């Protein structure tokens, strides 16, 4: 019977379309899953989407649709991208799946009933406009990290998980299983920074939003995302505390959870403890991969440097994108992505080294032997080529067993380079001119076809389409891993196919120019996309009537200390004078602002901005570069209603 191998990715948030960094993870996991299948394992590869939480609820509200409609849309988009990338997952779980929801509720209830979850109060810093809790360390200058407004220390009733109870048991597991956390450097970080200083109990429910799985026995509480999200790895296999499905019995524990370094803590601390509390076995390994950066920055929508897989696939093809992602990311350090790098890798590795090797060899086979493979005859340089091919198999296996995909790919490219060198050394075109060398020419081409077959098999987990195309072109029938035990498995007398370019060289200059034209600076593209997403729901005239707008006269204005964008102004509105803080300092020096008539929202709840009270809002038209305060067409007295 085949040995089982259960591998998972993190489940992606359905708050937005996934960028190329998120896509890296599915491609990495797919390469490992395909490699394991190739090695004869019975693989179960799970991926999916994480669909609950306040942010997603808010995004739906902004889009004017229900949260379910919103997550249906984004989950569909994520799945399309995973499919576009040729991810060979066996199951795609969504945390809104009915079966998942029911199992998570049962898990929560069991943990509560056995006393591992208890009710208490959650104390944190609350930002009223954002409706969000933050910990002390999340605050920026003591204010809300999202909107910069003042936050209040608040208490909320919530359920907590007794992490501390399992701390020693977790430490023991990590010590007894030295390979549990990969890479090694991350293990030290988890142990020294989080476990040793002592685990805090984890807040596992919320009452401040409702887009989540309800706690069955306490109305108003929803299960806060990590118990919901992490459980996907077992609920997808049909696990619930009272029934354990066939898949669960077969595949659990997971052989590896592949996740990004930012969520390592949840997977190496909270998840094992949850499983200990449930009395279930722990995953064998957690691999926290590094991040893909754009220049020196994290890829993120708000930074405006997001690159998307579908755009790249359109430009370069799916296998070239897979190749780039897998070879550009070292095992433990962050990698970078840029159009220039993709093009130069494409040309150097895929077009020049690999494409040329296959193309030249198949074309020579056709030209000199009508495509029919001749018997190998031993000659100079052969042993070196064969040794390199056989050695590459061993090294690749070793690298892939340690998830070092970039190193494995480098070895495969090295074999392709060695094969090109073999062409230069043996000079088939010179042999072809000498009839007495015909046998040797046949032997040289046999060795090249065999070496290309090795490359085709080794590349299959990384570039499945290219691998197939290589097999077609060389007419390979021995395409599985075991066929690499011997150099010389290809049958003499078999025929190769027709030569077709695998990767046509790209004109870097032209390509960059056209990218520039078709996709203006990513920043602009992003901003547009964000604006589109912010489309607000239709409102009624009654909704509009809730706003009180009045004409105001600016009496005084000065900059807010320590905030270069903010002006604090005294505005006369009829009989009263209000203090209003506005983000207009870059466009209106305070002295020029005094004396202007402006439009003010006067019934907005007062807030403190950077600690300064603001009792209203001045209306302005603004885009990325410009801002203009709304003015009256004709003069009107301050205090006049705006309707
Ligand atoms: O974290 N480079 O979802 P997510 C490489 N829902 N990987 C990156 C990356 C980058 N630039 N940016 C993000 C979540 N990732 C949770 C997971 S699992 C039970 C719940 C990785 O959509 C990130 O580290 O924010 C994570 O592993 C995955 O993409 C999904 O991120």
- pLDDT, residue 520, reads 46
- pLDDT, residue 537, reads 62
Of 394, 548, 368, the C-alpha closest to 448 is 368
What pLDDT digit, counting tens, does each position of 558-586 carry? Answer: 988 877 788 999 999 988 889 999 989 88
Q: What angle do CA 445, 449, 455 make, to 5 degrees?
A: 145
- 529 pLDDT higher than 60: no
- pLDDT, residue 371, reads 96
Residue 625 neighbours by CB under 8 Å, 6+ apart = none
- 543 pLDDT higher than 80: no
Distance (Å) from CA 19 to ligand 1 centroid: 10
What pLDDT digit, counting tens, does each position of 239-287 carry? Answer: 999 989 999 999 999 999 999 998 999 999 999 999 999 999 999 999 9
* CA-proximal residue: ligand 1, atom 15 (nearest): 22
Give the model's confidence band at 124: pLDDT under 50 very low, under 70 low, under 90 confident, else very high.
confident
Distance (Å) from CA 202 to ligand 1 centroid: 21
Nearest ligand 1 atom, CA 13: 22
Distance (Å) from CA 260 to ligand 1 centroid: 6
CB-CB contact of 147 with 566 (8 Å): no
Chain mean pLDDT for the chain: 90
- pLDDT, residue 13, reads 93
- 136 pLDDT higher than 90: no
Q: What residue ranges line ligand 1, CB within 6 angstroms?
A: 10-13, 21-22, 24-25, 50, 229-230, 232, 259-260, 262-263, 291-292, 298-299
Distance CA 515, CA 362 (A): 33
The preferred substitution site among 224, 262, 298 for testing ligand 1, maximizing ligand atoms within 8 Å of CB, is 262
Nearest ligand 1 atom, CA 292: 2
- 224 pLDDT higher than 90: no
Nearest ligand 1 atom, CA 290: 5
Top mean pLDDT of 124-128, 312-316, 588-592 is at 312-316
* CA-proximal residue: ligand 1, atom 18 (nearest): 10
Measured CA distances, 381 to 364, 388, 389, 435, 456 (Å): 19, 11, 13, 21, 22
The encoded tokens of residue 470 equal 């290589």
Distance (Å) from CA 298 to ligand 1 centroid: 12
- pLDDT, residue 564, reads 78
DSSP one-letter string for 297-335: EEP-TTTT----HHHHHHHH-HHHHHHHHHHHS-SSS-E
- 340 pLDDT higher than 50: yes
Of 42, 624, 25, 470, the C-alpha closest to 287 is 25
Dihedral (CA of 581, 582, 583, 586) sign: negative
- 535 pLDDT higher than 80: no
Helix (H) / strand (E) containing 599: strand 597-601
- 108 pLDDT higher than 90: yes
What pLDDT digit, counting tens, does each position of 474-491 carry? Answer: 999 999 999 999 999 999
- Percentage of the chain modeled with pLDDT above 70: 95
What pLDDT digit, counting tens, does each position of 19-76 carry? Answer: 999 999 999 999 999 999 999 999 999 999 999 998 898 889 989 999 999 999 999 9
The preferred substitution site among 21, 27, 227 for testing ligand 1, maximizing ligand atoms within 8 Å of CB, is 21
- 456 pLDDT higher than 90: yes
CB-CB contact of 86 with 465 (8 Å): yes
Distance (Å) from CA 334 to ligand 1 centroid: 14
- 525 pLDDT higher than 50: no
CB-CB contact of 428 with 444 (8 Å): yes
- 308 pLDDT higher than 70: yes
CB-CB contact of 127 with 134 (8 Å): yes
The preferred substitution site among 263, 269, 274 for testing ligand 1, maximizing ligand atoms within 8 Å of CB, is 263
Q: In this structure, which long-range contacts are made by residues 393-399, counting pairs with CB atoms below 8 Å and at least 24 apart in sequence?
A: 393/454, 393/458, 393/484, 396/458, 397/39
Give the model's confidence band at 413: pLDDT under 50 very low, under 70 low, under 90 confident, else very high.
very high
- pLDDT, residue 169, reads 95
- DSSP three-state, residue 384: helix
Distance CA 278, CA 263 (A): 21
Distance (Å) from CA 587 to ligand 1 centroid: 38
Stated length of the chain: 643
Residue 154 pairs in a beta bridge with: 124
What is the pTM (predicted TM-score) of this model? 0.80
Distance CA 526, CA 346 (A): 26
- What's the rounded mean pLDDT across residues 485-499? 94
- pLDDT, residue 575, reads 86
Residue 140 per-residue DSSP state: B
- DSSP three-state, residue 214: strand
Of 264, 260, 256, the C-alpha closest to 190 is 264
Distance (Å) from CA 91 to ligand 1 centroid: 18
- What's the rounded mean pLDDT across residues 448-460? 98
The preferred substitution site among 260, 292, 293, 301 for testing ligand 1, maximizing ligand atoms within 8 Å of CB, is 260
- pLDDT, residue 302, reads 56
DSSP one-letter string for 15-59: TS---HHHHHHHHHHHHHHHHHHHTT-EEEEEEEEE--SHHHHHH
CB burial class (10 A; 0-12, 13-18, 19+) of residue 221?
buried
Furthest CA-CA distance within the chain: 109
The preferred substitution site among 18, 21, 22 for testing ligand 1, maximizing ligand atoms within 8 Å of CB, is 22
- pLDDT, residue 334, reads 86
Distance (Å) from CA 149 to ligand 1 centroid: 28
- 522 pLDDT higher than 50: no
- 130 pLDDT higher than 70: no
Residue 8 neighbours by CB under 8 Å, 6+ apart = 29, 45, 46, 47, 233, 254, 256, 257, 258
CB-CB contact of 258 with 28 (8 Å): yes
Count the Cβ atoms, other than its own, within 10 Å of residue 40: 13
- 526 pLDDT higher than 50: no
Distance (Å) from CA 9 to ligand 1 centroid: 9
Q: Mind listing the domains of the chain with CATH numbers?
A: 341-485 (1.10.730.10), 541-642 (2.40.50.140)
- pLDDT, residue 593, reads 86
E strands present in 535-590: 549-560, 563-573, 576-582
- DSSP three-state, residue 614: strand
- Beta pairing class for 607-609 and 612-614: antiparallel
- pLDDT, residue 347, reads 96
Nearest ligand 1 atom, CA 267: 19
């Amino acid at each position: 019977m085949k040995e089982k191998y259960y591998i998972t990715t993190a489940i992606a948030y359905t708050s937005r379309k996934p960028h190329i960094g998120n896509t890296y993870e599915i491609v990495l996991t797919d390469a490992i899953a395909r490699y394991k299948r190739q090695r004869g394992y019975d693989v179960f590869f799970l991926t999916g989407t994480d669909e609950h939480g306040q942010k997603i609820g808010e995004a739906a509200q902004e889009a004017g649709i229900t949260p379910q409609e919103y997550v249906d849309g984004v989950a569909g988009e994520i799945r399309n991208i995973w499919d576009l990338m040729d991810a060979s997952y066996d199951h795609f779980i969504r945390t809104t799946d009915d079966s998942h929801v029911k199992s998570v509720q049962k898990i929560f209830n069991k943990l509560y009933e056995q006393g591992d979850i208890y009710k208490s109060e959650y104390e944190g810093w609350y930002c009223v406009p954002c409706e969000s809790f933050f910990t002390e360390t999340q605050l920026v200058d003591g204010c809300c990290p999202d909107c910069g407004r003042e936050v209040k220390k608040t208490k909320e009733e919530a359920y907590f998980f007794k992490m501390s109870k399992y701390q020693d048991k977790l430490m023991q597991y990590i010590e007894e299983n030295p390979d549990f956390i990969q890479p090694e450097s991350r293990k030290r970080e988890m142990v020294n920074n989080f476990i040793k200083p002592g685990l805090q109990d984890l807040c596992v429910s919320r009452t401040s939003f409702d887009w989540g799985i309800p706690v069955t026995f306490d109305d108003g509480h929803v299960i806060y995302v990590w118990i919901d999200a992490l459980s996907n790895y077992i609920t997808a296999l049909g696990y619930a505390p009272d029934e354990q499905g066939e898949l669960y019995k077969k595949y659990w524990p997971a052989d590896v959870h592949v996740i990004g370094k930012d969520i390592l803590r949840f997977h190496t601390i909270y998840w094992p403890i949850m499983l200990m509390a449930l009395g279930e076995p722990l995953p064998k390994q957690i691999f926290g991969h590094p991040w893909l950066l754009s220049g020196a920055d994290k890829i993120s929508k708000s930074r405006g440097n997001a690159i998307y897989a579908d755009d790249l696939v359109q430009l370069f093809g799916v296998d070239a994108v897979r190749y780039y992602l897998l070879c550009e990311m070292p095992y433990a350090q962050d990698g970078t992505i840029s159009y220039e790098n993709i093009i130069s890798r494409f040309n150097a590795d895929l077009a020049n080294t690999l494409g040329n090797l296959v193309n030249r060899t198949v074309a020579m086979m056709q030209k000199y032997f009508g495509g029919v493979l001749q018997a190998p005859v031993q000659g100079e340089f052969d042993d070196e080529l064969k040794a390199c091919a056989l050695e590459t198999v061993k090294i690749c296996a070793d690298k892939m067993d340690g998830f070092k995909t970039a190193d494995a790919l480098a070895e495969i490219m090295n074999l392709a380079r060695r094969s090109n060198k073999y062409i230069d050394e043996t000079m088939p075109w010179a042999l072809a001119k000498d009839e007495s060398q015909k046998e040797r020419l046949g032997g040289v081409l046999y060795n090249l076809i065999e070496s290309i077959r090795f490359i085709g098999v080794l590349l299959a987990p990384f570039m499945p389409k290219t691998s197939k195309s290589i097999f077609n072109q060389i007419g390979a029938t021995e395409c599985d891993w075991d066929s690499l035990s011997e150099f010389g498995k290809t049958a003499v007398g078999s025929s190769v196919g027709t030569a077709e370019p695998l990767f046509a060289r790209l004109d870097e200059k032209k390509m960059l120019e056209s990218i520039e034209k078709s996709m203006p600076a990513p920043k602009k593209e992003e901003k547009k996309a964000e604006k589109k997403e912010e489309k607000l729901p239709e409102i009624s005239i009654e909704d509009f009537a809730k706003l009180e707008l009045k004409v105001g006269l600016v009496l005084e204005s000065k900059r807010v200390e320590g905030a270069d964008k903010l002006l604090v102004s005294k505005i006369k509105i009829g009989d009263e004078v209000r203090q209003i803080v506005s983000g207009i300092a870059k466009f209106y020096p305070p002295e020029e602002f005094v004396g202007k008539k402006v439009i003010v929202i006067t019934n907005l709840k007062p807030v403190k901005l950077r600690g300064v009270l603001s009792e209203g809002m001045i209306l302005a038209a603004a885009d990325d570069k410009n801002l203009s305060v709304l003015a009256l067409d004709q003069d009107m007295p301050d205090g006049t209603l705006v309707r």
